[in-house]
């Protein structure tokens, strides 16, 4: 009978150990899930804020009697000097909305929710056309966050000025 007691204690000990390991593993999993959910909630809140800002810029750009496409065409062919103050404001608002959308993409990429090739496409668009437009429309100062601005400016150092 005495030989059965250590075996029973040993099985009980193993069962308790497995229970504790399972409990710790479950807590780690729940903690990781909570962290991921908090990160996703922050990204969603940031995205919502940027969407609202972009929509307000878009609404302003689309207001008025002259079609936005005509104003952009006028800007691209005749330059910023050819725009009236109201036209300048509308064109600038349109491009500011575009800038906000690109900022949103950067934030999603920075948080790991957007692939590297997607941000490369955005950076290529900025270096090929958008940056010059942003300079014309005094939008460089609006590039945020600072890490995004730094990435864009380092990219622009390797691109010949147009």
Helix, strand, coil fractions of the chain, as percent rounded to 5: 85, 0, 15
Annotated domain spans of the chain: 47-157
Tokens read off for 87: 């036209």
Give pLDDT tens digits for 111-155. Answer: 888 889 999 999 999 999 999 999 999 999 999 999 999 999 999
Please give the pLDDT value at position 9.
65
Percent of the chain with pLDDT over 70: 88
**Please, what is the angle between helix 146-157 and helix 116-125, to 10°?**
60
What digits encode the pLDDT tens for the residues 25-44? 888 888 878 887 887 777 77
What is the rounded distance in angstroms from the CA atom of residue 109 to the CA atom of residue 112? 5
Mean pLDDT for the stretch of residues 67-83: 93
Q: Which two tokens stand for residue 1?
A: 């009978």
């Amino acid at each position: 009978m005495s030989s059965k007691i250590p075996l029973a204690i040993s099985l009980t000990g193993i069962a308790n150990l497995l229970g504790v390991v399972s409990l710790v593993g479950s807590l780690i999993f729940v903690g990781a899930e909570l962290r991921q959910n908090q990160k996703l909630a922050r990204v969603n809140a940031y995205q919502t804020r940027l969407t609202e800002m972009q929509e307000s810029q878009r609404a302003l750009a689309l207001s008025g009697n002259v079609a936005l496409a005509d104003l952009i065409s006028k800007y691209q062919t005749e330059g910023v000097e050819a725009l009236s103050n109201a036209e300048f404001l509308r064109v600038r608002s349109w491009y500011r909305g575009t800038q906000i959308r690109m900022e949103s993409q950067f934030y999603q990429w920075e948080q790991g929710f957007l692939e590297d090739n997607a941000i490369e496409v955005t950076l290529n668009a900025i270096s090929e056309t958008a940056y010059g437009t942003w300079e014309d429309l005094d939008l460089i100062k609006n590039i945020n966050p600072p890490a995004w601005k730094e990435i864009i400016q380092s990219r622009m150092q390797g691109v010949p000025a147009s």
